[in-house]
Chain A
């Protein structure tokens, strides 16, 4: 292994991680500074809902495509969402496995699982790029960051896919690119739209807590209106 590759797998990642952790720490501290206002609405509902249940339900919402309008009506979009985010998890995991637990990659099953997740995410990434460029509606609302983040993320999946075997015998180019892009991401993410996942748990928690108290979450209605 060359010094550059060793640097990119270890020192560079560590610097990037510390940078990201610092920014996130500041962000989380900022987020926690917002204490929720006192709820003045009396608790309502049938008594089988409460803030805790509401929060749990709201956080689990992401796993229940049938309760959200946007996913209920578009199951394929939901599938894309799942594959894309599994790919993100696998690609990030890989950046820890290669330097710290490379032995895991000796197993062809582990390799297969990682490559499946990352490969599927790559395909979804390509589909999303095509949609962003070709769909007039999505194009109309896209900012430079939307294109940049998506294209870079998809390319990153590509490099991650070929890095899974962790084999530098044919040259270190792919691995080097993968680690440099990973480091770039760790530093860029807090400033881009990708940071949305940081807010997601917070907003879901507060929404669930409020709607739990107000007797709305967990939802348990099947619409009793409309024509039969």
Chain B
């Protein structure tokens, strides 16, 4: 593989010149037939794939009305062309959101519109061919489903939905992404994306307990499979794994401890993430999501709280009810589900937690809004609380906090470049380039405020940034979770319960 050149860090986000085909060789690995079969997709492209493709396309159009409307309504105004981090990082026009959509739209016109049927290529309609399928496989896996483009589109056209539909369609004719389908398979059979068995998770929890005890001399428990606990806590399995995830795990545990809460995790539902969403497949999304609600029923909990993970929160918050609801067995006084940041801030506001902010004085902190939280969900009572709540927590536990430029945060936040099923090694080149806008914004606050802690509430963001920071000459240790900061500053034992 050629050496990966990270764009130069200048602090400026410059729209690049169009470089046709610049990222055409950056492809995901295809899933092997055995894997395809395991996740109930055709093992490979059948001989009559074209007929199947058109038939399945029709099914998708009937199932997802939004996709059909999005395909019809775009006027090619160009407002989205320079909004995708993957375009900004590569200059490949296929990464302009509208041009990515055109991959599907031209085929849609050909088989599903009168104009396309009558006028063919004059009406910008295109037959599906092996070459075009190959382009689909390339560029629909260069979209992180982050929805930034939809914020700037006057029609709110959501390229993420088109990407999901395209991936579903590709899977349905035997063309799947190895990385994504392996994870789907692990989550459905073993309960989490990393394939960690229950005893291994328990081992990690013991380690975190010992670590806290050693550092603070307080017995903070990380319970698992406790029937009758009030709270089921679900977090991405990355939190059981390594830095900088595990530090947040300690943070959640300390918050629950300090609140005197009765809580538990589940070895059966040991994953908050849901790659079923990334591949756009309803059945897989439902099957993975179902584990959580099954665990909640079996453990007889009253409420469900979700840890730091962008897309987990998106699926749990936005889709759970439709997938596996209703959840009338839970206590209706609490929002279903609740985000750990909502929970922590509520405790802070009620005076249940005390902090020593100076514990974070070595850090000058900035915060990256994870796009799944920013643009696909919400938190709190009022629109926009998903932006203010994590910041309020950070301000409570740190003395030095600064935001990056306004057009790179909040609902305009840039994706990390590794979300939506792109966090795989074969895509490292585009991940580095896709991170460019965020890195430039970071560079500015590094220069102006010596920022050295990049706070996140998303497991994939954490994994992505620890990997790409070094390409930009930044220490990966600067990446961390919001609850890592909470963990550093919380005063244990000062007040038990609320």
Chain A residues within CB distance 8 Å of chain B: 34, 40-42, 45-46, 68-71, 74, 77, 131, 135-138, 140-146, 191-193, 195-196, 199-200, 202-203, 207, 215-216, 219-221, 223-227
Contact = CB atoms under 8 A, between A and B. Distances in A.
Interface of B: 15, 17-18, 65, 69, 72-76, 78-79, 81-82, 93, 96, 98-99, 102, 113-115, 118, 122-124, 151-156, 318, 321-322, 325-326, 378, 381-384, 387-388, 391, 402-403, 406, 409-412
A141 B96 contact: yes
A216 B122 CA distance: 41
Contacts of A144: 122-124
Contacts of B409: 225-226
Top 6 nearest A-B pairs by Cβ distance? A143-B124, A191-B115, A221-B384, A138-B78, A137-B81, A140-B93
Nearest to B321: A40
Nearest to B153: A70
Contact of A69 (B69, B75, B124, B152): B152
A203 B406 CA distance: 29
Contact of B326 (A40, A141, A215, A226): A40
7 contacts: A41-B322, A131-B78, A143-B124, A196-B74, A220-B382, A224-B387, A225-B410
Contacts, number: 119
Contact of A223 (B18, B124, B384): B384
Contacts of A227: 402-403
Contacts of B156: 203, 207
Contact of A68 (B72, B154, B387): B154
A68 B322 CA distance: 29
B322 A40 contact: yes
A70 B384 contact: no
A192 to B, nearest CB: 7
User: Which of A131, A207, A221 counts the most B-chain CB atoms under 10 A from its CB?
Assistant: A221
Given A40-B326, A199-B73, A221-B382, 17 more contacts: A41-B318, A42-B321, A46-B381, A69-B411, A70-B153, A131-B78, A140-B81, A140-B96, A141-B96, A142-B76, A143-B76, A143-B124, A145-B123, A199-B69, A207-B156, A221-B383, A225-B391
A193 B99 contact: no
Contacts of B75: 146, 193, 196
A41 B115 contact: no
A145 B155 contact: no
B383 A215 contact: yes
A225 B411 CA distance: 11
A34 B65 contact: yes
B387 A193 contact: no
Nearest to B402: A227
B73 A141 contact: no
Nearest to A222: B384
A193 B154 contact: no
Nearest to A58: B156
Contacts of B123: 143-145, 191
B155 A203 contact: yes
Contacts of B69: 199, 202-203
